[in-house]
Chain A
Amino acid sequence: MATIELINVEKKFGTSYAVKPMNMTIHSGEFVVLLGPSGCGKTTTLRMISGLEAVTDGQILFDGKDVTWLHPSDRDIAFVFQFFALYSHMTARENIAFPLQAQGESRDNIRQRVEDVAKMLRIEHLLTARPGGLSGGDQQRVALARALVRRPAAFLMDEPLGALDAEFRESMRAEIKRLHIEQNATTVYVTHDQIEAMAMGDRVVVMSAAVVQQNGTPAEVYHDPSNLFVARFIGSPGMNLIKGHYVEGKITLPGDNRYVVPADWQTAIHEAIGHEGDIILGFRPEAAHLSETGPIATNVYTSDLHGSYTMLHLELNRDTLVNVRAGRGTSYPIGTPTRFDLDPTMVRFFDPTTEAAIRKGGNQ
C-alpha cells in the first residue's frame, strides 16, 4: 500500500482555480475523506491523484516516487465511481474476475480471489447472476468487488454511495469501512455528505472554494473547527454561531443576554481581537443544557423529536435561533421562556472579520 503526497498541487481551468496550491500527505493504510459542497475542488483533487486530470502545477508522489505525469493505468490504483458500469452480458463472477484476467493471473488464483472478495461483501449467492437481474445495491456491491479484487496501491472512491437510498447507504458505509480495516488499503474517498465523512474517515479534509479549510481527525473537525465554514458544515445541525460584542471577559448577545467567558479563554481572545470587539460564540447543540438559572434567556420557537432525543429550537430574538439537544421526555410549547447554560469546556470563539477560530495558545 502506498503513501501519497501532494506537493503544491494546483489546478486551474483558464484563469480560475479549481484547486489552489495544496499540500497533503495520505499515509499508507490511511482512509482519508475529501469533504465539501459541490464545486469545492474535491473531485478534481481525486482526479489529479488518479492521473485522469493533469495538474497545472505541483508534484504528486506515490511512496516517494514522482507519478505526476504517469498515465492512470501505470499508477496502480482502483477507482470506484458513483455510477458503476458493469458488463451486462457477463455474470457477476465474470465481471469481478475481469480485471484479474486482464492482468493475466492464473485461473486458480482468480477463482480464489473472486471468492474471497465475494465473501467479504456477502455476495457469494449472486455470483452467477447477471447485472440486469440484480438490485441497484447489489450491482454496486459487485462493482465494489471488482475494484477490491485487484489489491492496488490505493483506492480512489468518488461518491460511491451517492446514488443509493438512505438505508442501504448506511449499511454499505459500514461494509466499506470494515473492508478497509481488514485490508488496510490506502483509500481516498470523496463525498459531500458530512455524516459519511465523519463515520468513515481516519482523517477528514474539508474543502471549500478550491481551498483546504481543515485537515484533521473527525474529533478535531467536530470539536475544534478551524473556521466558521467548517463549524457550520460539520454536524447535523451545524455548530450554533451567535454574533456578540466582547468587553473585558463578557459577551453581549442578542436578546439582551450576557455570557461570561470562561477564564481560560480570555488571554486567547485578547490576543485575537483585543479587550473589546465583535466576536462569534460557537457551541454544539449538546453543549447547552437547560437550567432555570442559566445565563441565556430564550423562547421556544419549536421543538422536535428525533427518536432517541428532542431538538429544541430556541429564539434569542427574531433573527437568532439556536439548536439545543434535550432529553426525549422534553416537550415545550411554542413561546415557553427557557434559559440555558453552556458547558465551559465546549464553547468556542471566532473572529467575525477573518472567520477563523480563536485558538488557545495563539493561531497555528
Chain B
Amino acid sequence: MSSITLQNITKGFGEKTALNDLSLTIQDQEFFVLLGPTGAGKTTTLRVIAGLEKQDSGDVLFDGNSMAGAVPAERDVAFVFQQYSLYPNMSVFDNLAFPLRSPLRKLPKGEIEHRVKSAAEKLRITHLLERKTAKLSGGEMQRVSIGRAIVREPRVYLMDEPLSNLDAKLRESLRIELVHLQKTQGSTTVFVTHDQIEALTMAQRIAVLDEGHILQVGTPHEIYDAPATTFVATLVGTPRINLVQASRQDGRVFVKDSSVRLPPPTGIDIPNDFLLGVRPEDVRPTSNGEFTGKIVLTEPLGVETIVHIRSGENNLTSLVPGITPISVGDEVRFDIVRERLHYFQPNGKRIMAAAAYSK
C-alpha cells in the first residue's frame, strides 16, 4: 500500500478548467473520500491518480516517488466503477481469477486459487463462485467487481461511485462491508461520491470539492462540526442546516425577522451582518424554551421527526427523537444549542475563533 500526494495539479479540457491547482496528501492505509456535486472534479482527480488522464501541470507522487511518465499499469492501482464490467459467460471464480491469469503476472495456480477464495470469503460470495455472473443481482455483481480489485493486491484502490447503482438497502450493507474490509486490510482507498451520507459514514478523511477547487479537507467530524463554508455546511447533513441572516446590535445577536436573540459568541469577532448556521438537531423544542414559534409541518421518519417551526418570518427545521406528539398549528417554545452555532461571513466563509487564525 502507498501514500499518494498530489502537488499543484491543474487540468483543463479545452476552455474549461477541471482541476485548479489542487494539492492534497492521502496517507498510507487511509480511506479517503472525494465529495462534491457533479462537475466538481472528483472523477478527474481519480483518473489523474490512475494515470488515465495526464495533468497539464503539477505532479502525482506514490510514496514520495513521482509517477510522471508511469503508465497506468506501472502505477499498480485497481479501479472500481459504478458500472460493473464483468464477463457474463464466465463464472464468478473465473472473473475473479482473470486479472491474475494475465501472462505478465505468471502466478502459480495454487496462489490464484488461494487469492480468489480469500477475496470471496471477505466479500461473502463464496457460495456464488460457480455461478455465471449474468445470473447475479446488482449487489452481487458489485461485490464481484470489488473482489476482482482485491485479488490483485494493488498499491491503491480507486473507487468511482461504486454503490450508486444499487438500491438503498443494498447500498447500506455493501457500505458496511467495504469499510470493514478496508479497515481490516489497511488498504489505501480513494473513494469518489456525491452522496454526503456515504462520505460521512465511510471516510477517515473527506476532501470537499467544487468546480475544481478543494473547499475543505478533514475528518467527518470536522467537516460536519466546523464546515469551512456555507457550501460545505449545506452539502453535509440531512435535513439541511438552517442558515439565517443575522446581525449584531448592542452586543447581542439578532436573527433577522424573528424573535431569536442570542448573546454574542465568545472568542470570535463577528461582523455587523453575517449568516448564522444551526443544525436541525440543535433546535430543540422544550416546554420552557427561550424562543417561540408555530409548527407549520411535521415529517415523521420513524426514528426521528423533522419539525418545521415558523419563528417570525423564518422557518427553522428541527430534528426531534421518535414520532413526536407535536402537530401542525401548535405554538411551541424551543431552545438553540449555543455551543454548536456556526458563524459565516456574508460571502459564505466560516468565521474562525481568534485562536484558530494564528495557527
Contacts and interface: CB of A to CB of B under 8 A. Distances in A.
Interface of A: 166-167, 170, 173-174, 177-178, 181, 195, 198-200, 218-219, 222-223, 232, 234-238, 284-286, 301-302, 304-308, 311, 313, 321, 325, 328, 334
**B interface residue count range (under 10 / 10 to 19 / 20 to 34 / 35 or more):** 35 or more
| Closest 8 pairs (CB-CB, A-B) | A304-B201, A199-B299, A222-B302, A308-B281, A302-B180, A218-B300, A219-B323, A302-B179
Contact of A305 (B180, B220, B238, B281): B220
Contacts of B237: 307-308
B214 interface: no
Given A218-B300, A302-B183, A307 B172 contact: no
Contacts of B175: 304
Contacts of B321: 286
Interface in B180-223: 180, 183-184, 195, 197, 200-202, 220-221
Nearest to B300: A218
Nearest to B236: A307
B176 interface: yes
B107 interface: no
22 contacts: A170-B238, A174-B308, A177-B297, A177-B299, A181-B297, A198-B300, A199-B299, A199-B300, A218-B300, A222-B323, A223-B323, A236-B168, A236-B301, A286-B321, A304-B175, A304-B176, A306-B197, A307-B238, A308-B237, A308-B280, A308-B319, A313-B180
Contacts of B221: 305, 328
Contacts of B238: 166, 170, 307
A173 B319 CA distance: 16
A301 B176 contact: yes
B202 A304 contact: yes
Nearest to A310: B201
A200 B301 CA distance: 9
Contacts of B16: none
Nearest to B301: A198
A307 B200 contact: yes
B200 A302 contact: no
B240 A167 contact: yes
B239 interface: yes
Contact of A219 (B176, B236, B300, B328): B300
A223 B300 CA distance: 12
B127 interface: no
Contacts of B244: none
**B176, B183, B306: which has the most chain A beta carbons within 10 Å?**
B176
Contact of B176 (A195, A218, A235, A302): A302
A198 B180 contact: no
Contacts of B234: 167
Contacts of A170: 238-240
Nearest to B282: A308
Given A302-B176, A307-B200, A178 B296 contact: yes
B303 interface: yes
A218 B169 contact: no
A200 B299 contact: yes
Nearest to B175: A304
A197 B285 CA distance: 24
Interface string B262-306: 000000000000000001110000000000000011011111001
B125 to A, nearest CB: 14
Interface in B225-278: 234, 236-240
Nearest to A309: B281
Nearest to A305: B220
B303 A286 contact: yes
Contacts of B84: none
B334 interface: no
Given A181-B297, A218-B323, A305-B200, 13 more contacts: A170-B239, A174-B297, A199-B306, A219-B300, A219-B323, A223-B323, A237-B169, A284-B302, A304-B201, A305-B220, A307-B224, A307-B279, A328-B221
A261 B200 CA distance: 36
B266 to A, nearest CB: 23
A316 to B, nearest CB: 15
B183 A195 contact: no
A167 B202 CA distance: 20
Given A301-B180, A307-B224, A285 B297 contact: no
B297 to A, nearest CB: 5
A334 B303 contact: no
Given A170-B238, A302-B179, A307-B200, A235 B319 contact: no
Contact of A304 (B200, B239, B300, B322): B200
A284 to B, nearest CB: 7
A325 B303 contact: yes
A321 B172 CA distance: 13
B243 to A, nearest CB: 13
B297 A195 contact: no
Contacts of A301: 176, 180
Contacts of A195: 301
A80 to B, nearest CB: 19
Interface in B140-173: 168-169, 172
Contacts of A321: 176
Contacts of B303: 235, 284-286, 325
Nearest to A286: B303
Contacts of A167: 234, 240
A238 B169 CA distance: 8
Contact of B201 (A219, A286, A306): A306
Contacts of B322: 286
A34 B189 CA distance: 40
A236 B170 CA distance: 11
Contacts of B168: 236
A250 B264 CA distance: 56
Contacts of A334: 180, 183-184
A235 B302 contact: yes
A306 B200 contact: yes
B177 to A, nearest CB: 9
A262 B169 CA distance: 30
B279 A308 contact: yes
A201 to B, nearest CB: 9
A290 B254 CA distance: 41
Nearest to B176: A313
**B180, B200, B308: which has the most chain A beta carbons within 10 Å?**
B180
